[in-house]
Protein backbone atom coordinates (compact mmCIF):
# COMPACT_ATOMS: atom_id res chain seq x y z
CA UNK A 1 0.00 0.00 0.00
CA UNK A 2 2.67 2.54 1.05
CA UNK A 3 6.32 2.61 0.07
CA UNK A 4 8.83 2.84 2.89
CA UNK A 5 9.45 6.50 2.10
CA UNK A 6 5.68 7.03 1.90
CA UNK A 7 5.30 5.60 5.40
CA UNK A 8 7.88 8.06 6.70
CA UNK A 9 6.11 10.92 4.93
CA UNK A 10 2.77 9.96 6.51
CA UNK A 11 4.39 9.97 9.96
CA UNK A 12 6.15 13.28 9.23
CA UNK A 13 2.82 14.85 8.31
CA UNK A 14 1.13 13.30 11.37
CA UNK A 15 3.96 14.65 13.54
CA UNK A 16 3.59 18.16 12.10
CA UNK A 17 -0.19 18.22 12.44
CA UNK A 18 -0.21 16.80 15.96
CA UNK A 19 2.52 19.24 17.03
CA UNK A 20 0.58 22.20 15.63
CA UNK A 21 -2.63 21.05 17.31
CA UNK A 22 -0.93 20.48 20.67
CA UNK A 23 0.78 23.87 20.47
CA UNK A 24 -2.56 25.61 19.89
CA UNK A 25 -4.22 23.68 22.74
CA UNK A 26 -1.41 24.29 25.25
CA UNK A 27 -1.21 27.95 24.22
CA UNK A 28 -4.94 28.42 24.82
CA UNK A 29 -4.82 26.42 28.06
CA UNK A 30 -1.76 27.80 29.84
CA UNK A 31 0.79 29.67 27.75
CA UNK A 32 -1.06 32.69 26.37
CA UNK A 33 0.14 35.19 29.05
CA UNK A 34 3.76 33.99 28.90
CA UNK A 35 3.91 33.89 25.11
CA UNK A 36 2.25 37.29 24.73
CA UNK A 37 4.96 38.81 26.96
CA UNK A 38 7.85 37.21 25.07
CA UNK A 39 7.12 35.92 21.57
CA UNK A 40 4.25 38.36 21.08
CA UNK A 41 6.69 41.26 21.25
CA UNK A 42 9.00 39.64 18.70
CA UNK A 43 6.49 39.77 15.86
CA UNK A 44 5.76 37.35 13.03
CA UNK A 45 9.41 37.34 11.97
CA UNK A 46 10.15 35.28 15.06
CA UNK A 47 7.96 32.40 13.90
CA UNK A 48 9.39 32.71 10.39
CA UNK A 49 12.92 32.47 11.86
CA UNK A 50 11.96 29.29 13.75
CA UNK A 51 10.43 27.62 10.68
CA UNK A 52 13.14 28.66 8.22
CA UNK A 53 15.93 27.70 10.62
CA UNK A 54 14.34 24.33 11.39
CA UNK A 55 13.89 23.54 7.68
CA UNK A 56 17.40 24.62 6.68
CA UNK A 57 19.02 22.91 9.66
CA UNK A 58 16.96 19.73 9.36
CA UNK A 59 17.50 19.19 5.66
CA UNK A 60 21.02 20.66 5.66
CA UNK A 61 22.42 18.49 8.45
CA UNK A 62 20.42 15.44 7.35
CA UNK A 63 21.71 15.66 3.79
CA UNK A 64 25.26 16.35 4.98
CA UNK A 65 25.06 13.27 7.20
CA UNK A 66 24.02 11.12 4.24
CA UNK A 67 26.76 12.56 2.03
CA UNK A 68 29.43 11.99 4.69
CA UNK A 69 28.19 8.39 4.94
CA UNK A 70 28.65 7.96 1.21
CA UNK A 71 24.92 7.79 0.51
CA UNK A 72 23.28 10.00 -2.10
CA UNK A 73 19.99 11.69 -1.36
CA UNK A 74 18.25 14.30 0.71
CA UNK A 75 18.15 13.58 4.43
CA UNK A 76 16.41 15.01 7.45
CA UNK A 77 17.78 15.46 10.96
CA UNK A 78 15.78 16.37 14.05
CA UNK A 79 18.99 17.52 15.75
CA UNK A 80 19.81 19.65 12.72
CA UNK A 81 16.31 21.13 12.76
CA UNK A 82 16.64 22.01 16.43
CA UNK A 83 20.10 23.54 15.95
CA UNK A 84 18.94 25.52 12.90
CA UNK A 85 15.87 26.85 14.69
CA UNK A 86 17.86 27.89 17.75
CA UNK A 87 20.54 29.60 15.65
CA UNK A 88 18.10 31.59 13.50
CA UNK A 89 15.94 32.58 16.46
CA UNK A 90 18.92 33.77 18.47
CA UNK A 91 20.19 35.78 15.51
CA UNK A 92 16.70 37.24 15.02
CA UNK A 93 16.47 38.14 18.71
CA UNK A 94 19.94 39.69 18.65
CA UNK A 95 18.99 41.78 15.63
CA UNK A 96 15.76 42.95 17.29
CA UNK A 97 17.27 43.54 20.75
CA UNK A 98 15.11 40.86 22.38
CA UNK A 99 16.52 39.37 25.56
CA UNK A 100 15.53 36.32 27.56
CA UNK A 101 13.99 32.96 26.84
CA UNK A 102 11.25 32.74 24.21
CA UNK A 103 11.09 29.02 23.35
CA UNK A 104 8.59 27.72 25.91
CA UNK A 105 5.74 27.65 23.41
CA UNK A 106 7.72 25.26 21.17
CA UNK A 107 8.61 22.65 23.82
CA UNK A 108 5.38 20.68 23.39
CA UNK A 109 5.55 20.86 19.60
CA UNK A 110 9.14 19.61 19.58
CA UNK A 111 8.41 16.69 21.94
CA UNK A 112 5.36 15.69 19.90
CA UNK A 113 7.23 15.92 16.60
CA UNK A 114 10.04 13.71 17.87
CA UNK A 115 7.70 11.13 19.37
CA UNK A 116 5.43 10.72 16.33
CA UNK A 117 8.21 11.19 13.77
CA UNK A 118 10.45 8.54 15.32
CA UNK A 119 7.74 5.93 14.80
CA UNK A 120 8.00 6.81 11.11
CA UNK A 121 11.72 6.03 11.30
CA UNK A 122 10.94 2.65 12.84
CA UNK A 123 8.24 1.62 10.38
CA UNK A 124 10.19 2.83 7.35
CA UNK A 125 12.99 0.36 8.01
CA UNK A 126 16.09 -0.17 5.89
CA UNK A 127 15.27 1.66 2.62
CA UNK A 128 14.75 4.95 4.43
CA UNK A 129 18.19 4.95 6.10
CA UNK A 130 16.67 5.72 9.53
CA UNK A 131 17.03 2.31 11.12
CA UNK A 132 19.95 2.72 13.53
CA UNK A 133 23.34 1.00 13.75
CA UNK A 134 24.41 -2.67 13.88
CA UNK A 135 24.11 -4.41 17.27
CA UNK A 136 24.26 -7.87 18.79
CA UNK A 137 22.17 -6.76 21.77
CA UNK A 138 18.95 -8.73 22.37
CA UNK A 139 16.68 -5.75 21.67
CA UNK A 140 18.08 -5.23 18.19
CA UNK A 141 15.55 -5.26 15.34
CA UNK A 142 15.85 -7.36 12.18
CA UNK A 143 14.87 -5.03 9.33
CA UNK A 144 15.98 -7.59 6.73
CA UNK A 145 19.50 -6.32 6.08
CA UNK A 146 21.20 -9.32 4.48
CA UNK A 147 24.72 -8.11 5.36
CA UNK A 148 23.82 -7.83 9.04
CA UNK A 149 22.09 -11.24 8.93
CA UNK A 150 25.33 -12.83 7.70
CA UNK A 151 27.11 -11.35 10.71
CA UNK A 152 24.37 -12.44 13.12
CA UNK A 153 23.54 -8.82 13.91
CA UNK A 154 20.40 -6.70 14.00
CA UNK A 155 19.89 -2.95 13.89
CA UNK A 156 19.91 -0.92 17.09
CA UNK A 157 17.00 1.44 16.65
CA UNK A 158 18.61 4.44 18.35
CA UNK A 159 15.49 6.45 17.51
CA UNK A 160 13.40 4.20 19.78
CA UNK A 161 15.48 5.22 22.82
CA UNK A 162 13.95 8.68 22.57
CA UNK A 163 10.48 7.17 22.92
CA UNK A 164 10.93 5.72 26.40
CA UNK A 165 11.28 7.64 29.65
CA UNK A 166 14.72 7.69 31.19
CA UNK A 167 15.09 5.97 34.61
CA UNK A 168 15.24 9.34 36.39
CA UNK A 169 11.82 10.17 34.87
CA UNK A 170 10.08 7.02 36.24
Which segments of the chain are extended strands (E)? Answer: 133-135, 154-156
CA distance linking residue 117 with residue 160, whole number of Å = 11
**Cβ atoms within 10 Å of 26's Cβ, excluding its own:** 18
Kindly tell me the burial class for residue 72, based on how many C-beta atoms sit within 10 Å of its own C-beta (0-12, 13-18, 19 or more): exposed
Per-residue pLDDT of the chain (170 residues; tens, 9 = 90+): 556 567 777 888 898 899 889 988 988 888 888 888 777 778 889 889 998 999 999 899 888 887 887 777 787 888 899 999 999 999 999 999 988 888 888 888 888 888 887 777 777 766 666 666 677 777 777 766 665 666 677 776 655 555 555 455 44
What pTM, to 2 d.p., does this model score? 0.71
**Could you tell me the residue ranges of all domains in the chain?**
4-130
Amino acid sequence: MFTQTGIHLVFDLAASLSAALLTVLVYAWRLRPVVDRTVGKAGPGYVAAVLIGAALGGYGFGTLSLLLSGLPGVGRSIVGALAGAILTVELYKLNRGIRGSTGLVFVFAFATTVTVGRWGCYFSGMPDQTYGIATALPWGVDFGDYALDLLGLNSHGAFSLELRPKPEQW
